Amino acid sequence: MSFRRIEDAPSGTTALVRVDFNVPMANGAVSDDTRLRAALPTIRALQAKGCKIALLAHFDRPKGKVVPEMSLGQIMPGLARVLDSVDGLVFVNDCVGDGVKGALSALPPGGVVLLENVRFYPGEEKNDPEFAKQLAANFDIYVNDAFSAAHRAHASTEGVAHILPAYAGKQMERELDALDAALGNPKRPVLGIVGGAKVSTKLDLLQNLIAKLDRLAIGGGMANTFLYAQGHEIGGSLAEKDMADTARAIMEAAKGKCEILLPVDVVVAKEVKPHTQARIAALGDIGADEKILDAGEKTVQRLREAMKRSHTLIWNGPLGVFEVPPFDQATVIAAQEAAALAKAGKLIAVAGGGDTVAALNHAGVAGDFTFVSTAGGAFLEWMEGKALPGVEALRA
């Protein structure tokens, strides 16, 4: 897709930058500064243009009220460590009004201020036009670097972008370029892997993907629903039996367009406990008291071969109960294969979603994928083919 980038922005301006600083905290301190560090490339790019920079974010869910323990002021020590070369980093205990105006007037070019939690105002989540005008009042340009919030039509993600000249930040740019390479304009053949527990939560996703992919591998609990829909006995496995007709309709709609890969063998056990007794079972050999908890060796090998025949992979959701060994093996082996192909330049491998990121970290390969999105809901909605308000507002 074509969207406005920081390179297109004028120099010497005052920039309002929407970032994702909804960071985890422990004992009053930032426990993981990944999201803080993710903003650095955008900050550096704007500093190179001689811009004054104000960072705008939400933190937790104050629901339009001032909640002191949800103040962004508490992340200042962590942000100061990340921005160690920035002189005079300042926190402003508001995000609109004279306090912001005063802080910006005192700020040198390249200086950075952090504004207070934008969700302290009810107008934020309501996308109130008057509040959007207040946010925009002290700025020349707007930069959105928070893809994780781009699926929300809020004042700070969408409203302001229609008032000020709007540009994608560097992290947003990386995300959009990666997703375009995976689904928008991919190098074919394209393989998708979709796992997770329920068909019902990923119905829009599956229906969109069968129209865009060459092959779609279905794993996790949702694969059990598809196997049940095909008439296989699944014992005591997690499944949405009331979604059997929907599963059959998806398989029918995919015919001639997208090859659906379901498990051909599975790992079963009588209980979900670490290192419990488990076995590989063929379809049709699953006991009434057994649960399907992972994909089997033949299924994983077939998936590895499908990866080798593909140029692009997009992955959302684990193949089994990866949090409980030994039911992590299919996910780990498949992830290692994808990572090796990506590292060798043979596969564009893009993945996202909370469980997916955790699974790739568990496998130790997240850093070898072409791109791993931590955006959660926004990533899922993009895969579902939905327009994201915060992204649409950046289109060139």
Q: What are the catalytic residues? A: 35, 198, 354, 377
d(CA 115, CA 99): 10
C-beta atoms surrounding 50 within 10 Å: 12
Task: With CA atoms as reference, report the closest residue to 61 among 116, 120, 18.
Answer: 120
d(CA 46, CA 316): 33
Look-up of token digits 């980038």: 5
Task: With CA atoms as reference, report the closest residue to 226 among 212, 208, 206.
Answer: 206
Residue 299 main-chain phi, psi, to 5 deg: -65, -45
Q: Supply the Cα-derived Rg of the chain in whole angstroms.
A: 23
Look-up of token digits 């070898």: 368
In the beta sheet, which residues pair with residue 96? none
Token pair, residue 82, equals: 């990340």
Task: With CA atoms as reference, report the closest residue to 50 among 10, 17, 90, 88.
Answer: 10
d(CA 368, CA 52): 35
SS3 assignment, position 107: coil
Token pair, residue 351, equals: 């993945």
Token pair, residue 302, equals: 């077939």
